[in-house]
């Protein structure tokens, strides 16, 4: 496929970051986000570090509220209530996953949709960050979508389902595949897909067992820690038109979308 930009996703993110940085520099008041972290897992710590680094680079104020692992749901709800009501933070996120014993859905519902930078609340007008980052990147690359076949592998509330909805909005023919899809059907849909978004957290799941359209676009959301380092859900170097790398791919676009959402809440669109 002839890509118009010839840019990697990392370069795209760097470019957009410069635009956002200039936009923020022109604002009278600095936008401010709070990041609530209750877990200690390596993945979440890496995500949070990345988010804090981005905020710093963009000129956005970010407060990390780190709570002990033993925090109860009731205690977390109190913190959320305070953040919902304060005049300091334009928005906030609660880093997922949460420790056992805390109901993630209850937490997502407790965040005031007006401050829900993640876009997880059903009444939020914002698009969740990972699908938003992906669709913005596909637009940037001018990937043809209308009438084309999209396959979303994974049906999570954070990625798979909202991603499928966004691709449908682009007039794509969307199929969601998941853990109960047969191997035969999986191979069939993948072979016919123009855009494949894979988000199942299984290192190297998409490999040379499958056949792909030569111009297919693979967007790899997975990131798994293996003995061989961080790996995506797709084996690197598949014979397709475009494949996003891991690490240094979708994760960067997700972090960018977080601040695009914050600026939407702030009242400046992009
Ligand atoms: N954990 C993994 N991705 C995300 C995300 O986009 N937002 C939050 N809050 N937690 C996450």
Please, which pLDDT band fits residue 116 given cuts at 50, 70 and 90? very high
**Helix (H), strand (E), coil (C) string for 53-98:** HHHHHHCCEEEEEECCCCCCHHHHHHHHHHHHHCCCCCEEEECCCC
Please, which pLDDT band fits residue 2 given cuts at 50, 70 and 90? very low
CB of 93 closer than 6 angstroms to any ligand 1 atom? yes
143 and 228 belong to one structural domain: yes
**pLDDT score at 41:** 86
**Catalytic site positions:** 51, 95, 118
pLDDT at 71 over 80: yes
Beta-carbon contacts of 190 under 8 Å, excluding residues fewer than 6 positions away, are 151, 196, 206, 210, 211, 212
143 and 60 belong to one structural domain: no
- Residue 119, domain member (yes or no): no
93 and 174 belong to one structural domain: no
72 and 179 belong to one structural domain: no
Distance from Cα 95 to the centre of ligand 1, integer Å: 5
- Residue 136, domain member (yes or no): yes
91 and 166 belong to one structural domain: no
Q: What is the mean pLDDT of the segment spanning 161-188? A: 98
Distance from Cα 34 to the centre of ligand 1, integer Å: 13
Q: What letter would DSSP give residue 134?
A: H
Task: Check if the beta carbon of residue 239 is closer than 8 Å to that of residue 212.
Answer: yes
Ligand 1 atom closest to the CA of 129, numbered from 1: 6
pLDDT at 270 over 50: yes
pLDDT digits (tens, 9 = 90+) for 196-227: 999 999 999 999 999 999 999 999 999 999 99
226 and 147 belong to one structural domain: yes
**What is the tally of structural domains in the chain?**
2
Domain coverage including residue 160: 129-251
Which residue's alpha carbon is at the smallest distance from atom 8 of ligand 1? 95
pLDDT at 1 over 80: no
CB of 129 closer than 6 angstroms to any ligand 1 atom? yes
**pLDDT score at 3:** 53
Distance from Cα 230 to the centre of ligand 1, integer Å: 18
Q: What is the mean pLDDT of the segment spanning 174-178? A: 98
Give Cα separations from 4 to 83, 100, 141, 219 (angstroms): 43, 46, 6, 17
Q: What is the mean pLDDT of the segment spanning 145-156? A: 98
100 and 192 belong to one structural domain: no
CATH code, domain carrying 93: 3.40.50.10860
Please, which pLDDT band fits residue 5 given cuts at 50, 70 and 90? confident
Please, which pLDDT band fits residue 123 given cuts at 50, 70 and 90? very high
Give dist(CA 236, CA 117) in Å, integer.
Answer: 32
């Amino acid at each position: 496929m002839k890509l118009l930009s010839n840019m990697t996703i990392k370069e795209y993110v760097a470019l957009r970051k410069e635009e956002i940085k200039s936009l923020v520099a022109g604002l009278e008041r600095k936008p401010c986000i709070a990041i609530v972290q209750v877990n200690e897992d390596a993945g979440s710590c890496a995500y949070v570090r990345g988010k804090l680094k981005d905020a710093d680079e963009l000129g956005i104020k970010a407060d990390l509220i780190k709570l002990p692992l033993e925090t109860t749901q009731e205690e977390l709800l109190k913190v959320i209530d305070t953040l919902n009501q304060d005049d300091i933070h334009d928005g906030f996120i609660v880093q997922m996953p949460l420790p056992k014993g805390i109901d993630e859905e209850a937490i997502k519902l407790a965040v005031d949709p007006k401050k829900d930078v993640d876009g997880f609340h059903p009444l939020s007008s914002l698009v969740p960050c990972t699908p938003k980052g992906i669709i913005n990147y596909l637009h940037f690359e001018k990937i043809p979508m209308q009438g084309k076949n999209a396959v979303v592998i994974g049906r999570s509330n954070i990625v798979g389902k909202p991603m499928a909805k966004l691709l449908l909005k682009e007039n794509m023919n969307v199929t969601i595949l998941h853990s109960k899809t047969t191997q035969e059907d999986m191979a069939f849909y993948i072979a016919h897909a123009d855009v494949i978004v894979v988000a199942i957290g299984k290192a190297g799941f998409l490999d040379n067992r499958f056949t792909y359209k030569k111009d297919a676009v693979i967007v790899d959301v997975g990131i798994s820690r293996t003995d061989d380092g961080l790996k995506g859900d797709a084996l690197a170097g598949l014979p397709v038109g475009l494949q996003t790398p891991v690490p240094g791919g979708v994760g960067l676009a997700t972090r960018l979308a977080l601040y695009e959402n914050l600026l939407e809440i702030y009242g400046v669109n992009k």
